[in-house]
Amino acid sequence: MPEQARPWAGCETTEKAHRALTRIRESFGVEALPSGLAELAGHESGIHDLYMNLKRQLDAGKLSREDKLLVAVGIAAAAGSAESTRYLGAACREAGLEPAEILAAISVATVCTVFNGYYKFRHSVPEGEFDAFKAPFNANTFVNSGLSTARMELICIAVSSMNGCSMCVVGHVEKAKSVNVTPEQIDEAVRAAAAASAFSAVSSALAAPPGIEAV
């Protein structure tokens, strides 16, 4: 890869960094990592922290691993990271989730992002000034996603939080609680989203440019 495409070139990948890459593969059961992770591995602490945060936040807890993986793939898609979306989607399949469930999570995250973009604006302007205007956005996905209400609301909470829409977070938290989702489960979903967001960001930021083979 030309040096101008990799201004961080020349950093040695240590044995510990190689182990972190291996453990990410083992943790998700998917061999082909996003190309940007090989680049990040030039910084030992950076790739180790990424691995540990993914493992800790996506392992089962109050929420199942499957729930967390659906949150993660929704976050990756909302972030526009093709490589991380494919990788986490493959991890979903390894965990036993169906293709329709994966695409449903991506669809929910996509529709949620539309509303996040608008309601961040509404929250930023004086109260009442734009009350006469309605958000003319389609949201059939929220009714016909094929996911449980709890699962869908967890994805929406996570995506809304990562997108910085406090109005949407409040509304989705209330809806999640109404279907018996606990605060502990909501917290775990947002922590999973934070780890997946970082994974998606660095996967995109350090991805090999088109037509250039990754290291």
Which domains can be identified in the chain, with CATH numbers?
A: 3-205 (1.20.1290.10)
> How far is 98 from 102, CA to CA, in rounded Å?
7
Residue 61: per-residue pLDDT: 96
Catalytic machinery residues: 165, 168
* Banded model confidence at residue 8, pLDDT cuts 50, 70, 90: confident
Residue 39: per-residue pLDDT: 93
pLDDT digits (tens, 9 = 90+) for 129-139: 888 888 789 99
pLDDT digits (tens, 9 = 90+) for 65-124: 999 999 999 999 999 999 999 999 999 999 999 999 999 999 999 999 999 999 999 888
> What's the mean pLDDT when you consider all of the chain?
93
pLDDT digits (tens, 9 = 90+) for 28-71: 999 999 999 999 999 999 999 999 999 999 999 999 999 999 99
pLDDT digits (tens, 9 = 90+) for 167-207: 999 999 999 999 999 999 999 999 999 999 999 999 999 98
**Residue 129 CA: distances (Å) to CA of 122, 135, 164:** 9, 14, 21
**Residue 87 CA: distances (Å) to CA of 49, 169, 172, 175:** 19, 27, 27, 30
Residue 2: per-residue pLDDT: 54
pTM above 0.85, yes or no: yes
Residue 1: per-residue pLDDT: 47
